């Protein structure tokens, strides 16, 4: 029977040979998962035996990974802003950049608005990762989490229940803000923003994610444009919209937002790589 040390080395080598990025880290994550061990334990118990059943389950996971299925779909979960969310191939795997959107929404909600009893719309909720974190950190807020497909909402619904926030997060199906039943203080949206022509050039893992979550039309901004037109009726007078965008799109959307809200103001936030990533649109310029 093999021991942990050799299984980790072997897994690392196989992943590297298959051209998987971050092969070492992924080898550790796969082994932690099949052995149900914490990270420290896989290093401190290097001579622990790996059963045939555990090896077989590792091999079947690796087979899936060799066909470039994303790690998060194989494990069925992803950590996001300190919580684990279930992910299936029906939903986008939440990204670290989007944690910045949550962080900024929390900052706005706690510092920049007159009340903490906010109503918030998370448009294009996917796994529900944004809405759930906002509900956890803003206990007085009421949140509408919207998506366009039943199978996506099934995943969001599971996650919302698993994190115990279903009393404050209402799911709605529909096109962008049309499904939101009342005007809200804050709209948070990580909508599909990749130009259609760029989809075939994406990493194979990303191409396994739903096109509905990625494809933003010719210039990537089809949904963002529609959201801004709908926002007139669904954003309160002093409301704020926070959008995650591709850095190149930020100036275009900034100009568009000010056309829709001539009394408004915009601000840009960077992601961890220092790229312009989040656009804040204030319906009324702050005094
Ligand atoms: C980029 S993913 C974001 C998912 C999640 N909010 C996150 O950040 O991980 C975009 C989401 O928008 C949803 N979507 C696409 N078109 C939509 C529409 N017309 N109305 C509402 N949601 C839509 C997709 O199904 C997908 O879940």
pLDDT (tens digit per residue) in 157-214: 999 999 999 999 999 999 999 999 999 999 999 999 999 999 999 999 999 999 999 9
Residue 253 pLDDT: 98
Who's near 149: CB < 8 A, 6+ residues apart?
Answer: 90, 173, 212
Q: Which atom of ligand 1 is closest in space to residue 122's alpha carbon?
A: 6
- Report the distance separating Cα 190 and Cα 80, nearest Å: 14
Question: For ligand 1, is residue 133 a contact (CB within 6 Å)?
Answer: no
Which two tokens mark 113? Answer: 């608005």
Which two tokens mark 103? Answer: 């962080």
Residue 226 pLDDT: 98
**Same domain (yes/no): 52, 92:** no
User: 59 alpha carbon to ligand 1 midpoint, in Å?
Assistant: 33
User: 113 alpha carbon to ligand 1 midpoint, in Å?
Assistant: 26
Does the pLDDT of residue 87 top 90, yes or no? yes
Residue 38 pLDDT: 93
Does the pLDDT of residue 12 top 90, yes or no? yes
**Same domain (yes/no): 101, 211:** yes
Domain final position from 67, 91, 119: 67
Residue 268 pLDDT: 98
Question: For ligand 1, is residue 191 a contact (CB within 6 Å)?
Answer: yes
In a domain, 74, yes or no: no
Instruction: Output the CA angle 230-252-95, nearest 5 degrees.
Output: 80
Pocket test for ligand 1, best of 124, 152, 224 (most atoms within 8 A of CB): 124
Residue 111 pLDDT: 83
User: 282 alpha carbon to ligand 1 midpoint, in Å?
Assistant: 22
Range of the domain at 181: 82-282
Q: Which atom of ligand 1 is closest in space to residue 124's alpha carbon?
A: 12
Does the pLDDT of residue 286 top 90, yes or no? no
Query: First vs last Cα of the chain: how many Å apart?
Result: 70
**Same domain (yes/no): 57, 93:** no
User: 6 alpha carbon to ligand 1 midpoint, in Å?
Assistant: 42
In a domain, 73, yes or no: no
Q: What percent of the chain has pLDDT over 70?
A: 100
User: 168 alpha carbon to ligand 1 midpoint, in Å?
Assistant: 20
Question: For ligand 1, is residue 216 a contact (CB within 6 Å)?
Answer: no
In a domain, 76, yes or no: no
The b-or-e profile of 190-221 (16+ CB within 10 A means b, else e) is: bbbbbbbeeeeeeeebeeebbebbbbbbebbb
Who's near 84: CB < 8 A, 6+ residues apart?
Answer: 77, 78
**Same domain (yes/no): 199, 224:** yes
Q: What percent of the chain has pLDDT over 90?
A: 95
**Same domain (yes/no): 45, 107:** no
In a domain, 77, yes or no: no
**Same domain (yes/no): 59, 159:** no
Does the pLDDT of residue 117 top 90, yes or no? no
Question: For ligand 1, is residue 92 a contact (CB within 6 Å)?
Answer: yes
* Rounded (to 5) percent helix, strand, coil in the chain: 45, 20, 35
**Same domain (yes/no): 253, 165:** yes
Query: How many domains in the chain?
Result: 2
**Same domain (yes/no): 175, 59:** no
Residue 112 pLDDT: 72
* Cβ contact 285:257 at 8 Å: no
Local structure of 26: helix, strand or coil: helix
Residue 115 pLDDT: 75
Sign of the alpha-carbon dihedral angle for 75, 78, 83, 87: negative
* CATH number of domain containing 113: 3.40.50.150
Model confidence over 19-69: pLDDT tens digits?
999 999 999 999 999 999 999 999 999 999 999 999 999 999 999 999 999
In a domain, 8, yes or no: yes
The model's confidence at residue 262, banded by pLDDT at 50, 70 and 90, is very high
User: 287 alpha carbon to ligand 1 midpoint, in Å?
Assistant: 33
H/E segment holding residue 107: helix 96-111
User: 191 alpha carbon to ligand 1 midpoint, in Å?
Assistant: 5
In a domain, 75, yes or no: no
Does the pLDDT of residue 116 top 80, yes or no? no
Does the pLDDT of residue 287 top 90, yes or no? no
Residue 189 pLDDT: 98
Question: For ligand 1, is residue 148 a contact (CB within 6 Å)?
Answer: yes
* Nearest residue by C-alpha to atom 17 in ligand 1: 148
* Nearest residue by C-alpha to atom 26 in ligand 1: 213
**Same domain (yes/no): 41, 172:** no
- Report the distance separating Cα 214 and Cα 59, nearest Å: 30
Domain final position from 67, 96, 119: 67
Question: For ligand 1, is residue 54 a contact (CB within 6 Å)?
Answer: no
């Amino acid at each position: 029977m093999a021991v942990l040390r050799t299984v980790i080395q072997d897994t690392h080598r196989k992943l590297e040979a298959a051209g998987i990025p971050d092969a070492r880290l992924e080898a550790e994550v796969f082994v932690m998962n099949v052995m149900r061990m914490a990270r420290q334990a896989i290093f401190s118990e290097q001579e622990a035996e790996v059963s045939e059943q555990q090896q077989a389950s590792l091999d079947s996971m690796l087979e899936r990974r060799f066909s470039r299925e994303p790690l998060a779909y194989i494990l069925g979960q992803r950590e996001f802003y300190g919580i684990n969310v279930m992910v299936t191939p029906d939903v986008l795997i939440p990204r670290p950049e989007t944690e910045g959107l949550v962080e900024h929404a929390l900052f706005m909600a706690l510092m920049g608005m007159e009340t903490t009893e906010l109503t918030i719309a998370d448009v294009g909720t996917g796994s529900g990762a944004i809405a759930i974190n906002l509900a956890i950190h803003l206990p007085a807020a009421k949140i509408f989490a919207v998506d366009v497909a039943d199978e996506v909402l099934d995943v969001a619904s599971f996650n919302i229940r698993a994190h115990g926030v279903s009393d404050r997060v209402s799911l709605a199906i529909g096109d962008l803000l049309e499904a939101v039943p009342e005007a809200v203080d804050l709209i948070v949206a990580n909508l599909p923003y990749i130009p259609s022509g760029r989809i075939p050039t994406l990493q194979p893992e990303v191409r396994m994610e739903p096109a509905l979550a990625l494809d933003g039309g010719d210039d990537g901004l089809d949904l963002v444009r529609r959201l801004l037109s709908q926002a007139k009726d669904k954003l309160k007078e002093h409301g704020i919209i926070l959008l995650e965008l591709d850095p190149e799109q930020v100036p275009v959307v900034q100009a568009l937002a000010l056309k829709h809200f001539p009394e408004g103001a915009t601000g840009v936030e960077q992601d961890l790589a220092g790229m312009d990533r989040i656009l804040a649109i204030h319906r009324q310029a702050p005094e």
